[in-house]
Amino acid sequence: MQQQFPPLQAPRRLLFGPGPSMVAPRVYAAMSQNVVGHLDPFFFEVAEEIRLLIAYAYSTVNEFNLAISGTGSSGMEAAVANFVEPGQKFALLTNGFFAERIGEMARRHGADIVRFAKDWGQPFDPQEARDFIRRERPRVVAFVQAETSTGMFNQSRTICEAAHEVDALVIADCVTSLGGMPVLVDENGIDIAYGCTQKGLGCPPGLAPMTVSPRALDWLEKRTTPVTSWYLDLRLLDTFYSGHKYHHTASATLFYALREALVMVSEEGLEHRCERHRRNHVAFVAGIEAMGLQMLVDGHHRLWTLNTPRVPDGVEDGKVRQYLLEERGIEIAGGFGPLAGKVFRIGLMGHGSTADNVLLVLEALEAALKQQGYRPAGDSRAAAEKALSAAV
C-alpha cells in the first residue's frame, strides 16, 4: 500500500456530553490485562462477579443479572425482544427521543403499541399515567427513567404500581441513571432494567448491564413464541453465562472494564456516588443560573447526570460547541428533534462528576458564550462554589 499510517494517537478529550463520559484510569488499566477466551474459567469468574455487582448497582436482589454484549441499545432490544410477544399490547410512556426508540423496536418485534405521550421535557402526571395503564391493561409497560434527550428524570414508582395492578411487566431504560442516580429496581418494582457502561459507570461503551426480576423470568418461561432475536435471547444467553456453553465470543477486555467500574461503585458506595452526582449537578445549575441561563427541565425533575440549559437568544449552539472542542478539548452536545439548537446537553457523570469539573465546564462555557457576544448576568464560579461548600 502507498499510504502511510502513523501510530494511532487518540486526542485526550474532556468528555462532558451525554456520553461517553470520562473513563477512570483504573478502568483503562483493567482493560490492558491479558485477553482470555470466552470459555476460560477466569472469564466466567469475572462474569460471575459482574453478575453480583450489577445487582448492587441496580439495588436489587434479582439473581438474573448480566452484561449484554453491545451498547445500551442492545439492552433495550434485549428487553423488548424477550418481553414482547407479537400482537400483545405494549404501553409506551414517552416524553423524549429514547422512549420513541423503544417504541420503534417494539413495533419491529410485532407489539400492539398504545402510547401515553407528553412533549419532550414534560413530566408524566402520575394520576394520568396510572389511569392510562388501568384503562389499557397492557402486557408490558415501558418508559425511560433518565431521558437523555431532555435531561428529565421520570419517577418510576406509580408507573410500576399501576402496571403490577394489571399484571403487566415493567421495562425501564436506566441508561443515564445507572451509576449516577438512584435507580432502585426493587423499591420501585421495575421488572426489567437495562443500562450502559459509558455514562454513570465511567467505562468505554460496549456492554449493557441488565437485570431481570423473577416475575419477568416466569413470564419468559410461559412465552409461547420464540424470542425474535437469537443473539439477545436471554434464556440462550443464560446457557452461556450460567451453563458455560458457547453462545458468542464475549469481549474479555470489556468485561474487565465493567468489573473494575462496578467495583469502584461498590467501593464508593452507591448512596455516596449518587450524592456526589447530585451535589455536583446542583452546583453546576447554580453556576448556570448565575450566568443568566435557564434550565429546560423544572427543578425536581432534573437528571443529576446530564444538564440541559437552554441556549440563550442570539447564541448559536454549534459555534459554542465548536469553540469548546477546538479551544478547550471539551465535548458537550446540543439538542436534537424539537430541541435542536435550543439546549446544550452537558454531562457530569461517573468519573467526570467532580467539583473541579463543575468549575472547569462553567468557566469554559462562559468563555464560549462570551465569544458569541453573550454577557453573563453574574458570577457563575462564585455561585457554584457557594453551592459546593453548602453541600459539604
Ligand X SMILES: Cc1ncc(COP(=O)(O)O)c(C=O)c1O
Interface ranges with ligand X (CB under 6 A): 18-19, 71-73, 76, 98, 144, 148, 173, 175-176, 196, 205
For residue 362, which of 342, 388, 339, 337 has the smallest C-alpha distance? 388
Report which residue's Cβ sits closest to ligand X. 72
Query: Which letter, b or e, does each residue of 283-317 get, where b requires 16 or more Cβ atoms within 10 Å of its Cβ?
Result: bbbbbbbbbebebbbeeebbbbbbbbbbbbeebeb
Nearest residue (CB) to ligand X, 203 versus 324: 203
Instruction: Give the DSSP H/E element, type plus range, for residue 17.
Output: none
Query: Beta-strand (E) ranges in 188-265?
Result: 192-194, 207-212
Report the residue number, 65 or 148, with the smaller CB distance to ligand X: 148
Min dist CB 28 to ligand X, Å, is: 19
Contact 265, 54 (CB under 8 A): no
Q: Which three three-digit cell numbers place residue 344?
A: 446544550
160 Cα distance to chain centroid: 19
Q: How far is the CB of 333 from ligand X (least distance, A)?
A: 10
The answer to whether the Cα torsion of 259, 263, 266, 270 is positive or negative is negative
Give 31 or 78: the residue with its C-beta nearer to ligand X: 78
Question: Which of residues 331 and 366 has its CB atom nearest to ligand X in the complex?
Answer: 331
* Closer by beta carbon to ligand X, 72 or else 121: 72
Least distance (Å) between residue 175 CB and ligand X: 4
Q: Kindly compute the dihedral angle of the four CA atoms of residues 206, 56, 278, 363, in this order, to the nearest 10 degrees.
A: -30
Complex with ligand X: residue 21 or 213, whichever CB lies closer:
21
Q: How far is the CB of 253 from ligand X (least distance, A)?
A: 17
Find the shortest distance in angstroms from Cβ 306 to ligand X: 8
| Residue number, 72 or 179, with CB nearest to ligand X | 72
d(CA 231, CA 74) in angstroms, rounded, equals 10
CA distance 142 to 214: 18
CB 130 → ligand X: shortest distance, Å? 23
What phi and psi, each to the nearest 5 degrees, are found at residue 349?
-140, 155
Q: Which three cell numbers stand for residue 170?
A: 415493567
- CA R_g for the chain: 21
Shortest Å distance, C-beta 220 to ligand X: 22
Least Å from the CB of residue 153 to ligand X = 11
CB 83: neighbour CB atoms within 10 A?
Answer: 28
- Shortest Cβ 277–ligand X spacing (Å): 16
3-state SS, residue 365 = helix
Residue 208 or 234 having the CB closest to ligand X: 208
Q: Which of 194, 187, 175 is nearest to 80 (CA)?
A: 194
Distance, CA of 78 to CA of 173 (rounded, Å): 11
Cell numbers describing residue 78: 434485549
Which helix H or strand E contains 94, and what residues bound it?
strand 89-94
Residue 358 belongs to what H/E stretch? helix 355-371
- Residue 105: all three cell numbers together: 423496536
> Of 203 and 216, which CB lies nearer to ligand X in the complex structure?
203
Query: Minimum Å distance from CB 19 to ligand X?
Result: 5
Our CB check for ligand X shows the closer of 19 and 312 to be 19
